[in-house]
Amino acid sequence: MKRRWFRIIFLLLIVAVAAGALLTWLMRPKAVPVLVAQASRGVVQDSVTNTRAGTVKACRRSGLSPSIGGQIVRMPVREGDRVKQGQVLLEFWNNDLAAQLVLAQRQTKAAEARVKQACVVADTAQRESRRLQELHRKKLASAEVTDKAVGETRAAQAACEAAKVNVEVSLAQVDVAHAALQRTRLVAPFDGVAAQVNGEIGEFVTPSPVGVPTPPAVDLIDDSCIYVSAPMDEVDAAKIRVDMPVKISLDAYGDRIFKGKVRRIAPYVLDREKQARTVEVEADFTDPQVTNNMLAGYSADIEIILAQKADTLRVPTEAVVEGNKVLVLGADNLLHEQQIETGLDNWKFTEVLSGLQSGQKVAISVDREGVKDGVLVQIENQGE
């Protein structure tokens, strides 16, 4: 009988222990999933980026329009055509002006002929005057006849000079007629590509009124030189200097990064309504060859490198929480808050001057619910 009770008590104790263990297991804290990364040595850069998307621009871009109105009779350029400096892009009806130019040129030829005539007369008169002066010295010609010959020589020489001046006037009239004719032609001021062409043969074009912008007849872009212009926050702009290295990224080129350098910092601050005050910063591409197929107008971002360390201890910037603290993963799979001293930083990495050792793992998903000091975690990745 005693043995029977002993067995019952023993079984009850086993059940109680098992139930307690089960309850303890069921009530244990659940591990919080977390992403981690290793503190490692590498490059850390202090950089600033643009506040809004920048733009790829051509070094030269002109919206060309004629200075006078007229009817288009020739438009040899279409959108996308490449043109050379001096090439005619558009021409108005100008037969009257062309005729005036021909008239001025012929008047110039007539004036040149009159110069020859007047100067020949002057040369003849001068020879006759010298002959009479010689005869007068020999007392074979009267003084009256000699003086008359000298006066006629001076008049002939003056007529020759007047005829030469008339040629200069005629040449100036040719220039005036030529300039008037040129105003009816729109020519390319530099080599480039016609990005936009407005107008068709037969249409009448009038100059835009003062203060009223109108589309240009030809939008000409010199795409042999490309750069990026982007707005930087006024606070960051104070740190930027010309020739600082730049990382350039374009949406059209995916994750590809282009090297560049700062070429210009605007000498003024833009104050736009409901937006932060910004300074336009321009950046050149280090290798001009990479811009061969780029189009002006692409959106672009620039990251300006203010300072850089090549071999320093670093952690992902997302791992650093307020107060320069990180959550370090312990051997017990618990997170432990650790104070660190930081140096250079950007959106990707933060330099660690003290408080961590290379190889230690820190949580990078610090914004997840439950990720805090002292919690048990389950690593979802090993990170770097």
Contacts of residue 142, defined as CB under 8 A and 6 or more positions apart, other chains included, come to 136
Q: Is the pLDDT of residue 67 over 50?
A: yes
Residues 234-293 have pLDDT tens digits of 888 889 999 999 999 999 998 899 999 999 999 988 877 566 789 999 999 999 889 888
Distance between CA atoms of residues 97 and 103, nearest Å: 10
Angle between helices 95-137 and 143-182 (to 10 degrees): 160
Give the pair of three-digit tokens for residue 252. Answer: 């059209």
Mean pLDDT of the chain: 86
Distance between CA atoms of residues 2 and 11, nearest Å: 14
> What pLDDT, on the 0 to 100 scale, is given for residue 143?
81
> What pLDDT, on the 0 to 100 scale, is given for residue 25?
47
Residues 132-158 have pLDDT tens digits of 787 778 777 788 877 787 888 888 888
> What pLDDT, on the 0 to 100 scale, is given for residue 139?
78
CB atoms closer than 10 angstroms to residue 155: 13
Contacts of residue 343, defined as CB under 8 A and 6 or more positions apart, other chains included, come to 44, 309, 312, 350, 351, 352, 353
Closest of 103, 98, 102, 115 to residue 168, by C-alpha: 115
Residues 68-103 have pLDDT tens digits of 889 999 999 998 899 999 999 999 999 999 999 999
> What pLDDT, on the 0 to 100 scale, is given for residue 383?
44
Residues 96-133 have pLDDT tens digits of 999 999 999 999 999 899 989 888 888 888 888 888 78
> What pLDDT, on the 0 to 100 scale, is given for residue 6?
63
Residues 344-384 have pLDDT tens digits of 888 889 999 999 999 999 988 888 888 888 888 888 875 44
Distance between CA atoms of residues 238 and 232, nearest Å: 10
Residues 156-175 have pLDDT tens digits of 888 889 889 999 999 999 99
> What pLDDT, on the 0 to 100 scale, is given for residue 26?
47
Burial class (CB in 10 A: 0-12, 13-18, 19+), 129: buried
Residues 289-340 have pLDDT tens digits of 898 888 888 999 999 999 989 899 999 999 998 889 999 988 888 889 999 9
Q: Are 88 and 76 in contact (CB under 8 A)?
A: yes
CB atoms closer than 10 angstroms to residue 178: 16
Distance between CA atoms of residues 42 and 263, nearest Å: 28
pTM here is 0.65
Residues 32-58 have pLDDT tens digits of 788 899 999 999 988 889 988 999 999
pLDDT tier at 5 (50, 70, 90 boundaries)? low
> What pLDDT, on the 0 to 100 scale, is given for residue 141?
76
Rg (CA), the chain: 44
